[in-house]
Amino acid sequence: MPPLPKAELHLHIEGTLEPELAFALAERNGVELPYATQDELRAAYSFTDLQDFLNLYYALMAVLRTEDDFADLANAYLARAREQGVRHAEIFFDPQAHTARGVDIGTVIRGLTRALDAAPRAYGITTRLIMCFLRDESAESARATFESARPYLDRITAVGLDSAEVGHPPSKFREVYALAREAGLKCVAHAGEEGPPAYVWEALDILGVDRVDHGVRCLEDETLVARLVADQVPLTVCPLSNVRLRVVDRLADHPLPAMLDAGLLVTVNSDDPSYFGGYAEDNFTAVRDALGLDQAALRTLARNSFRASFLDEETRAAYL
Ligand code: ADE
Ligand code: ZN
């Protein structure tokens, strides 16, 4: 069966950097990688937790230097996404991970948007960009990043919050989210991946998020689940990521069916597909096989992905 048409709502563009492209860009930019071969690099993709993954994820970004690099990265993702039934992608990027290495935020955004602007015709995929703040950096750094992005805000749909969660609650970023909302941007945040349900409450009540990224730990707080259900707040769940980062032990133990049964507006996404063993459809087939989800449940997940998207009402309705 061809893959169901779907929207990808939780996808870090830097997490789509495949070993093959990493080596090609390293060569092009004269960057030395601490791995001799692609296989040696792939062998390092065994993670004990989120931080263990993030260490490699940030290190490998050293190969991304020019506008062309960011355009090539996005084009490689879009070509894969098309094969996986993705019709619409809302794509995270981490500006601070690049500006900290001396790469200008304009270089990042111009490179990405060059590929994204061509994507409807080249791949049949519409896109949005979500600018994430690194929560393990300071609130001041997030605010300075937001100010440096002001010339490009017409290209950015939402702000997000990612990187090491525990110890960095959403409330730390109250001011910059207020600025983003004032500027007319949507808001999302990673919460309840490794962090407690209290972080999901903060994302909702202090940051005013339109969606919660991950959110799987909401199940530990039934009042929180009731709130998420009542408001139909979308959760962008990433099953293969949760296994690789040991949020769950095995895919067969994943709480996705319980989340659907609870009436949560759940979507299935790929997070960092190069590192976690699969793109969007790979996540759909993995949950089908491990959790016994039937075709009706998969169709619900695909429909939810459009319902939860930032597409305008009319375009969204055409997918439902
Ligand atoms: N950055 C890239 N992937 C992430 C994840 N799963 N959680 C937090 N930050 C991330
Ligand atoms: Zn993520």
* In a domain? residue 146: yes
Q: Which domain holds residue 227?
A: 12-310
pLDDT reported for residue 1: 82
Tell me the mean pLDDT in the region 280-300: 98
pLDDT tens readout for residues 54-90: 999 999 999 999 999 999 999 999 999 999 999 999 9
Does residue 63 sit within a domain? yes
Strand partners, 266: 235
1 found inside a domain: no
- The pTM score is 0.98
Set 8, 165, 193, 281: catalytic member: 193
d(CA 215, CA 74): 26
Count of C-beta atoms within a 10 Å radius of residue 188: 27
Task: Examine residue 319 and state whether it is found in any structural domain, yes or no.
Answer: no
Measured at the alpha carbon of residue 198, what is the angle toward residues 196 and 202, in degrees to the nearest 5? 130
Tens digits of residue pLDDT in 47-58: 999 999 999 999
Q: For residues 103 and 42, what is the distance between their CA atoms, to the nearest angstrom?
A: 26
| Mean pLDDT, rounded, for 242-255 | 98
Q: Tell me which residues have their CB closer than 6 angstroms to ligand 1.
A: 12, 15, 50, 57, 162-163, 190, 193, 241, 271-272
6 inside domain: no
Nearest CA to ligand 1 atom 1: 163
Q: What is the per-residue pLDDT for 18?
A: 98
Q: Is 320 inside any structural domain?
A: no
Coil, strand or helix: which one is 183? coil
16 domain-assigned: yes
Q: Is residue 67 part of a domain?
A: yes
215-234 tens-digit pLDDT: 999 999 999 999 999 999 99
Take atom 10 of ligand 1 and give the residue whose Cα is closest. Answer: 163
Domain count, the chain: 1
**Residue 213 alpha carbon to ligand 2 centre in Å:** 7
Burial class (CB in 10 A: 0-12, 13-18, 19+), 238: buried
- Looking at every residue in the chain, the average pLDDT score rounds to 98
The whole-number average pLDDT for the span 268-284 is 98
Convert the pLDDT of each residue in 168-204 to its tens digit. 999 999 999 999 999 999 999 999 999 999 999 999 9
Grouping H, G, I as helix, E, B as strand and the rest as coil, residue 212 is strand
Name the DSSP letter for residue 1: -
CATH number for the domain spanning 197: value is: 3.20.20.140
For position 62, what pLDDT does the model report? 98
> Catalytic: 193?
yes
**112-121 long-range CB contacts below 8 Å, 24 or more apart?**
112/13, 112/70, 112/71, 112/73, 112/74, 113/155, 114/67, 114/71, 114/74, 115/70, 115/71, 115/72, 115/73, 115/74, 115/75, 115/78, 116/74, 116/78, 116/91, 119/74, 119/78
Element (H, E) at 55: helix 50-60
Calculate what percentage of the chain has a pLDDT beyond 90. 99
